[in-house]
């Protein structure tokens, strides 16, 4: 699929939010920090799943499956897991061990694992009607929270929870996007997203905090006993809120190429590398100096996060990352030539 400036703008805005969110996480959870994190986490990864689904149309066409894309993801997942094992232990002040459970993931590499599962499922899903697929995904996503066996193993909990967004993007057509952007519903969605963001910010320290994690595959058993039965309803609400936020973001992002559009062309390297950078910042004592005691310090961390996103998208890093990404292709070609 050819590059699409509009969706590159969307991806560029989203990856910047990802970096901001991860840079804020180690800070003490004040109401200001908590509000920012909860607003970002309400929709940024669901929307990334949707955009990933939109661009997954090339995975399986006319009976041909792009195995190379799955292999690259698996390769990057392995490298990411190994690197995070080092930086995360350094940040926590614990010994760096050689033991890594590649089949259990609750940190940043989960998204690569989920992408592998979604990509692998596409040939099966193409035999079903879109309405049936979306219905199945929604039912599994809502009811999956009651199943305690679903958890971090193979990132299955998040994979199932985010599947409706991925397949929503997979079935989305460019003409539908254009029709939405040209209609009045776009700016209505912006207004709706603003209202939801305001409610999330105001309710962060009161009634919303225990429920924010439900959009990320949290098992309903982690809720208060009296709220367990209502977990499915809460996830439906999170789905709806996240969808409104996504639509609002889609309407707000410019369609034409911008000076920052290139960020959307390099989201994968930013996603992987910024997490390692954040861990090392913790190890170097950054967050002992830059605390959330003052709002201006939080704003400074946000500015640094944005600068980090741009720095990690530098051409030199891009060239090196792409070489590493294509190592499985090079090995396969050498194997075929033997």
Lowest-confidence pick of 9-13, 220-224, 260-264, 328-332: 328-332
Concatenating the DSSP letter of every residue in 250-262 gives HHHS-SS--TTGG
Q: What is the pLDDT of residue 109?
A: 95
> So what's the pLDDT on residue 337?
66
pLDDT average, residue stretch 8-36:
95
Q: In this predicted structure, what is the pLDDT of residue 277? A: 97
**Average model confidence (pLDDT) across the chain:** 92
- Tokens standing for residue 40: 């970002």
pLDDT at residue 85 greater than cutoff 80: yes
Q: Give 192-204 as a DSSP string.
A: HHHHHHHHHHHHI
CA–CA dist 200, 39 (Å, integer): 6
State the average pLDDT over residues 66-86: 95
Q: What is the pLDDT of residue 336?
A: 65
pLDDT tens, 204-259? 766 777 788 898 889 998 888 888 999 999 999 999 999 999 999 999 999 999 99
pLDDT value, residue 166: 97
pLDDT tens, position by position, 178-211 = 999 999 888 999 999 999 999 988 877 667 777 8
Query: Closest Cα to residue 92, out of 264, 279, 242, 260?
Result: 279
Tokens of 331: 């090995």
Quote the pTM value.
Answer: 0.94
pLDDT(1) > 60: no
108-143 pLDDT, tens digit per residue, is 999 999 999 999 999 988 888 999 999 999 999 999
Our measurement of the distance from residue 128's CA atom to the centroid of its chain's CA atoms, rounded to an integer in Å, reads 26
pLDDT of residue 268: 97
């Amino acid at each position: 699929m050819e590059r699409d400036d509009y969706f590159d703008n969307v991806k560029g805005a989203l990856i910047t939010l990802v970096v901001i969110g991860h840079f804020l996480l180690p800070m003490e959870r004040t109401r200001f920090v908590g509000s920012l994190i909860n607003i970002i986490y309400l929709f940024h990864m669901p929307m990334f799943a949707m955009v990933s689904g939109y661009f997954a149309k090339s995975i399986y066409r006319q009976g041909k499956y792009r195995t190379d894309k799955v292999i690259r993801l698996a390769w990057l997942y392995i490298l990411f897991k190994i690197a995070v094992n080092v930086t995360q232990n350094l940040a926590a002040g614990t010994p760096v061990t050689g033991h890594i459970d590649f089949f259990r993931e609750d940190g940043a590499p989960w998204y690569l694992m989920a992408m592998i599962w979604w990509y692998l499922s596409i040939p099966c899903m193409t035999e079903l009607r879109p309405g049936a697929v979306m219905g199945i995904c929604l039912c599994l996503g809502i009811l999956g929270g009651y199943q305690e066996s679903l958890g971090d193993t193979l990132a299955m909990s998040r994979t199932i929870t985010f599947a409706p967004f991925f397949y929503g993007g997979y079935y989305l057509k460019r003409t539908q996007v254009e029709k939405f952007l040209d209609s009045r519903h776009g700016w209505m969605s912006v207004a709706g997203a603003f209202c939801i963001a305001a409610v999330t910010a105001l309710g962060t320290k009161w009634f919303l905090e225990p429920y924010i994690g439900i959009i990320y595959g949290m098992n309903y058993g982690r809720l208060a006993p009296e709220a367990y039965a209502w977990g499915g309803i809460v996830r439906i609400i999170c789905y709806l809120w996240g969808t409104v936020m996504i639509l609002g973001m889609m309407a707000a992002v410019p369609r034409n190429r911008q000076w920052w559009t290139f960020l959307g062309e390099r989201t994968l390297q930013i996603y992987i590398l910024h997490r390692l950078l954040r861990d090392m910042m913790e190890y170097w004592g950054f967050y002992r100096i830059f605390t959330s005691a003052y709002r201006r310090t939080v704003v400074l961390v946000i500015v640094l996060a944005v600068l980090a996103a741009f720095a990690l998208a530098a051409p030199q890093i891009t060239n090196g990352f792409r070489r590493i990404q294509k190592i499985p292709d090079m090995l396969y070609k050498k194997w075929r030539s033997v």
